[in-house]
Amino acid sequence: MLTTILKVQSTSNFSCHSITEEIEGFLETTQQLEGVVCVFSQHSTVAMIINEMEERLILDLGKWLEEMAPTAQGYKHDDLELRKNIPEDEPRNAHSHLRALLLGNQVSVPFKDGKLLLGKYQDIIMVELDGPRERNIVCSIQ
């Protein structure tokens, strides 16, 4: 099995979760030695990034995303009464979509000798942008 879906429970409206260890664990079970891991968020309001998991930097990231795509800015996607066939619990989350587009929803990470080739200050981080919810992250080894 070279493909799996990780379940990640996010803890806040905005929160960052390192899943480096989970991906290393899955890589180990596949016994593959060299290639690339694709890590893919199955959600339009959850991003995947590679960066430093430093708690104060995460605070900066949250503040910056709010500046880049502010909450409740009169987005058309948030006029729920003008949209058709939407679920009852449809959230007003256009800003979350835009933030996800800014960061990207998937990353590819090379590995060799069975180890991810991450730099010293790099983690594979799921960024929740419209939580808290349980989220699905696909991990595929090539």
**Residue ranges that bind a second copy, judged by CB under 8 A:** 2-3, 5, 34-36, 38, 40-44, 49-52, 54, 56-57, 59-61, 64, 68-69, 75-77, 79, 82-83, 94, 97-98, 100-110, 112, 117-119, 121-122, 136, 138, 140, 142
Question: Considering the complex, what minimum distance in angstroms separates the CB of residue 45 from a second copy?
Answer: 9
Question: Considering the complex, what minimum distance in angstroms separates the CB of residue 55 from a second copy?
Answer: 9
Nearest to 8, CA basis, from 47, 34, 60: 47
CA distance 63 to 112: 36
By C-beta, is 13 or 35 nearer to a second copy?
35
By C-beta, is 13 or 77 nearer to a second copy?
77
Question: Considering the complex, what minimum distance in angstroms separates the CB of residue 35 from a second copy?
Answer: 6
96: left (phi over 0), alpha (psi -120 to 50) or beta: alpha
Check if the beta carbon of residue 57 is closer than 8 Å to that of residue 138: no
By C-beta, is 21 or 83 nearer to a second copy?
83
Question: How is the beta sheet containing 106-112 ordered, strand by strand?
Answer: 3-9, 134-141, 35-41, 106-112, 115-116
Question: Considering the complex, what minimum distance in angstroms separates the CB of residue 68 from a second copy?
Answer: 7
By C-beta, is 13 or 116 nearer to a second copy?
116
Amino acid letter for position 19:
I
Question: Considering the complex, what minimum distance in angstroms separates the CB of residue 28 from a second copy?
Answer: 18
Tokens representing residue 34 in the block: 């060299």
Per-residue CA distances from 93 to 7, 69, 74, 99 (Å): 22, 11, 11, 10
